[in-house]
Amino acid sequence: MRIFAVALFFVFVNGSSIARQVSLPAAEPSYNSSYPKYRYDLRAPSLQQIDFRNLKVFWFAGEQPDSGAKLRNGTFERKADSGYERVDLDFVKFFGSTASKEQYAVIDLKWWDCGGSCTVVGRVQVFELEAGHPTVVQEIEYDRHAPRTGSHFDARTKTLTIVSRSNDRTPNCCPKNLDVLRFDWNGERFVFRESETIPASSALSSLKR
């Protein structure tokens, strides 16, 4: 898993509102953005007619998808003697015009991959409609192996905010810092704008007030 570190944090309250904290100095980005251009075989007149909660989703390595995980009512789960895999669809949001080619969907997947230990990855995927086919045109991968990680998309401002575990080499059990990453929509993709980091302990304690 290729995840780098950044610097910015927000805490989600009731799933949408965000409380700002005192920031730490910036580090390296804790996300990885790729552009798979993966086109599904299925067709639809608009992205709103795609059943994302029962869609087969993929873990991309660059442009190449894995074997996929077929969601059922927003969840996929597979157990084996050697490990465990789970995928949850956190949200689906649409933006752009359904009357033109400028229509998009953004989803966020929380993906567990467990063997001797667990990797928990967030995968924000951007879909557009190409010749009637839903197509993944961007994926932003980030580390979700910490409480309060996740993402939020504001369709009005077209701003994506991602809360990621910092790449600070702390043990899996004990995250030290969280990053908040802000991205702006440039008409074709999300472009990184700014970031901030806060100690995870401060962020968590603030939720109890």
The domain ranges of the chain are: 10-206
> pTM, whole model, 2 decimals?
0.81
Per the prediction, the chain carries an average pLDDT of: 82
For the stretch 148-198, pLDDT in tens is 899 999 999 999 999 999 988 777 778 889 999 999 999 999 999 999 987
AA identity, residue 204: L
